[in-house]
Structure formats: structure tokens, C-alpha cells
Chain A
Amino acid sequence: MTLARASGVILAKELRTEFRSRELLGTTVVFVLIVIVLFSFTFNPTSSESRRFGPGLLWLAFLFAGSLMLQSSFLREQTNDTLAALRLAPIDPFSILAGKMAANFLFLLLVEVILLPVFAVLYNVAILPVLGQLLLVLALGTIGLAATGTVFSAVAAQARLRELLLPLLLLPVLAPVLIASTEATIGVLRDPPELSMVWLTFLACFDVVFLTAAWMVGEYLLEE
């Protein structure tokens, strides 16, 4: 089976598992919602201020959500030792990682798209005119988050205190993504909006670097 087909099968399996229960998505949406509401107490979210601080808070909330949500990506497989079964399949081991990355990317993007209108209403930011550009920034940032997050989820699953460990590993590595996506989002929400090519290129570079790294270490990471 080719890498793409094998990854597709894993992706379909991840989506099926999640949409049968929908517990992961539901919980994460509520979590980000709580964070967004709590952030509003730390400063006065009037319109001009929220244009400056809002994007940073939003991305920080997404990063926190990712570091909690991605835990289950490999922990789910541990309950019935299903990762061993996946490993037995005659496919490239990277396709397991790739399928999970794609699934996590879609889950995170879905959470972000659900919460974007809520954020826009609560922080009084007009997003409709710049929706396309905003989605581009969201997608590029989320690829980096899902790629590193999935790899570190596999790392943390093999350690003690894994719930605490994953954010500890993930957040410092993702600091460049936080900076770049926040700056790009601030640019898009500015009046008049400007899409910063520097930050978009930077995000794309981050994605390429860590997707390649994941591809190279993936097979080692999944071995028994």
C-alpha cells in the first residue's frame, strides 16, 4: 500500500473514532471558550485594544488546547494496545504518524473555525471581510502545531506524568509559531488589512522543517 493510501486509512479510522463519541472536540471547544472568557478579565477588551491583544490571546488559547487535546492521540491506542496492531500492518510506519497528524490538524482546525465567530463577537473584531486570509494563517499555524504535537504526543505517551509533560515539551518548541501566527493575525485584522508575507513564509518554513523531521524520526518513534 502506498504511503498516501495507508495514511488515508489511518486518517479515516481516527475521524471515525472521534465522530462516534465527539468527546474530544466538544471538550476542547468548551476549554478554549473558557480561556477566551477568562482572558477578557485580564484587560479591558475595547475594540482598539482587542485588535492588538486579541490575536495573541486567541493563539495562546489554541496552543493550550492543542497541548491538551493531542494527549489522547497516542494514549487512546494504549488502552487496548492497538498501536501494536497498527504496527503489525504491512505499511510504512510513517503513515501511522501522518494519518494521526492529518486527523489532529482537522480536529484543531475545526475547533478554531467553530470558535472564530465567538471570538469575533466577544472581542468586537470584524473577521468576515478578511476570512480567506485569516483561514490561511490558521491553516499554516495549525499544521506546525499538529505536526510537532503529534510527535511529542508519541514521546510523552512513553513517559510518566505525561499530562504535564506534553505542554512542557510542546509550548517552548511552538514559541516561533505563536509569534508568527499572532503577528500575521494582527496584520490581517489591522485596518486596512495587510497579509504579512514574511510571517506566512516563516510559518511555511516551520511546517516544512518539522514535517520533514517527523518523517525522518517517525519510524524510530513507533517501534516497540
Chain B
Amino acid sequence: MGTEAQSETSSRAVISAPSVLAVFLLLAAASYGALIWAPTENTMGLVQRIFYFHVSSAWTGFVSFILVFVGSVAYLRTRALKWDWLSVASAEVGVAFFTIVLVTGPIWAKPVWGIWWTWDARLTSSFLLWVLFVSYLVLRTLVDEPERRALVSAVFGIFAALDIPLVYFSIWWFRTQHPQPVIGDGGSLDARMGWVLLLCWAATLGVMTVLIRLRYRLEALRAEVDAYRMEASRNA
């Protein structure tokens, strides 16, 4: 166990400076695109510019939750703790991105719709998704033994991920049956708006990658410390 943890961490170097720099530049370019280069939307005005980071954060959050699923399945198949580290890192980063979605959403909604929140299909399902993975993180804090924690959270991670499409379909059908405030989809998107949205997605994906790698390394170090502690208590 001890040697395994050591080889895991030493094989994975610290995040390289060039990659962090690249993500930083990407983020700067995305901010410039979203705040200055993209044309101002006609009806909603300046507040619409929050849309670029709102939507790209949601997409990136999805990617993180898919990684939780991948890590959970891979852990159950291989029993290598590194997959559990990937799952926990991705879940935390995904929850962080969905928190951004849930905070920027009302900021955008208030001036445009006149209300902070509406129980619209997309809002409700994003909220439920956030709750689902917060539960996943809570579960992890309540199991101490690393292998046990990895096992039960992998099972819950798989169930939560399988629930995502069901949550979306059920809420979508449910909400489309009931009258709702009309939410304009903006009609046709200006070409520049589309490019800025893609740029923002690339930037948030970059941030996601850096954060997941950092968090993964932290988890690996934690496992290493635990292994040393066990060894020390055995020798004492």
C-alpha cells in the first residue's frame, strides 16, 4: 500500500507552469471576447454577457460529472485507488461549476425576467443535479476507511450519473405540461456570440483540467500520508 501510493504520486508531476499559463491566457481571451468583442444583445443588453460563462460552466460541469462516472466504473473494475481520486476530484470541480451556474443564473434572470428564480425545466434539473453530487460529497465524508469509501461512493456515483438523463427527461416533460414564463432562446445567434461561447467553454474546460489535476494530487498525497501513518503506528 505504502509503496503503491508513493509510485502513484511520483509518476504524476506537479502541474506544469506552461499549462497553467495557457489556461490563464485562454481565460483572459475568453473574458475579452465575452465582455468586449461580442456584440451587445439587443433586448437584454449588457447583462446578457454573463451568458457566455453561465452556459460554458454548465457544459464543463457536465463533463466533470461524466468523469465521476468514468472514475467510478473504472474503480469498480480495477480496484486502483487512483480512479477514486479522479472521481472525487471531478465531483468537487463539477459541483463548483454548477455552483457558478446556479449563482450566475439568477443574476441574469433578475433583470431579464424580473424574478431571481423560476421552476423552469433547465433551472430545476441543474439544481437537482447539484444536490445529487453534493450528496455524493457528503457520503464521502461519512466513510473513513479509504477502500470502503471508494467502493460505496463509486456505487453511488454510478447511480447518480445514471440518474442525470432521467432527471432531465422527467423534469422536461413535467414542466412542458405546465404554463411557464416564456424564455427566449435568442433566435439565431450572432456568429461572434457562438465563437465566444466556444472560447469560454475551452477556457472553463482548461480551468477544470487544472483543478482536477491539483485535487487529484492532493488526494494522492493524502493517501500517501495515511499509508505512512499506518506504517508508523505498526512500528511503534
Contact = CB atoms under 8 A, between A and B. Distances in A.
B152 A198 contact: no
A162, A168, A202, A217, most chain B CB atoms within 10 A: A217
Contact of A148 (B139, B143, B159): B159
A209 B142 contact: no
Q: How large, as a class, is the contact surface on chain A?
A: 20 to 34
B174 A165 contact: no
A132 B93 CA distance: 47
A155 interface: yes
A151, A176, A206, A213, most chain B CB atoms within 10 A: A176
Contacts of B221: none
Given A158-B148, A179-B174, A206 B166 contact: yes
A168 B139 CA distance: 9
Given A148-B159, A180-B170, A158 B152 contact: yes
A173 B138 contact: no
A175 interface: yes
Contact of A169 (B135, B143, B148, B166): B135
Contact of B158 (A159, A165, A172, A217): A217
Interface string A202-218: 10011001100100010
Contact of B151 (A179, A180, A206, A221): A221
B138 A198 contact: no
Contacts of A151: 155, 159
Contact of A173 (B132, B143, B148, B152): B132
Given A165-B139, A179-B171, A206-B166, A173 B155 contact: no
A160 interface: yes
B156 interface: yes
Secondary structure dominating the interface of A: helix
B139 A173 contact: no
A205, A210, A220, most chain B CB atoms within 10 A: A220
Contacts of B116: none
A123 interface: no
A192 to B, nearest CB: 18
A155 B131 CA distance: 18
Contacts of B156: 152, 155, 169
Contacts of B139: 155, 159, 165, 168-169
Contacts of B131: 172
Contacts of A158: 143, 148, 152
Interface in A48-80: none
B170 A175 contact: yes
A112 interface: no
B167 interface: yes
B28 interface: no
Contacts of B24: none
B163 A176 contact: yes
B76 interface: yes
A210 B128 contact: no
A217 B143 contact: no
Interface string A109-152: 00000000000000000000000000000000000000010011
20 contacts: A152-B159, A158-B143, A158-B148, A159-B152, A160-B144, A165-B139, A169-B135, A172-B132, A173-B132, A176-B167, A176-B170, A183-B177, A202-B169, A202-B170, A202-B173, A205-B166, A209-B162, A209-B166, A213-B162, A221-B152
Given A162-B142, A165-B142, 16 more contacts: A152-B156, A155-B152, A158-B143, A158-B152, A160-B143, A169-B156, A173-B132, A175-B128, A175-B167, A180-B170, A209-B162, A213-B159, A213-B162, A217-B76, A220-B76, A220-B155
